[in-house]
Amino acid sequence: MLRVIKETGVPREVVENNYKKYLPKETLKNMILMLGTKKALHKPLVDVEQSNVDVVYIKSQYISQISELSSQYGCEEYSAFVDENGQVMEVRLQVDSVHPTQPGLRLLSLGKKRV
């Protein structure tokens, strides 16, 4: 939400009124149960808006937090079979461009052989 305010110049009040557009459904459910959403969003948005935080910093923090919360975020996984010298094995292909140590395509052997 703060990124939208900083990048587009949309007033904070407008973003607060459209908060459902910016929050994942699970986060929204938890916030409503705990505090009531608008009240929970108002003070942090005002505080951060006044702090002159850089948009690049906001984006990097968002990516960092998403990576910590869900290490599989953005990872696609497919089941496949590989034929090696007449031996067919089941494998799992993972495509993950943001994996911390092995970004890209990974082939995981499940060790199951098919006849």
Average pLDDT, the chain: 78
- Contact indicator for 88, 81 with CB cutoff of 8 Å: yes
Alpha carbon distances (Å) from 82 to 33, 44, 90, 96, 108: 48, 52, 6, 20, 11
Whole-prediction pTM: 0.45
- Contact indicator for 103, 97 with CB cutoff of 8 Å: yes
Least confident segment among 9-18, 31-40, 69-78: 31-40
Cα(12)–Cα(10) distance, rounded to whole angstroms? 6
- Per-residue DSSP letters for 2-41? HHHHHHH---HHHHHHTGGGTS-HHHHHHHHHHT-HHHHH
pLDDT value at position 70?
A: 65
pLDDT value at position 69?
A: 65
pLDDT digit string, tens, across residues 15-63:
888 877 777 676 666 655 555 666 677 777 788 777 777 888 888 887 7
Alpha carbon distances (Å) from 88 to 9, 59, 78: 57, 44, 16
Banded model confidence at residue 86, pLDDT cuts 50, 70, 90: confident
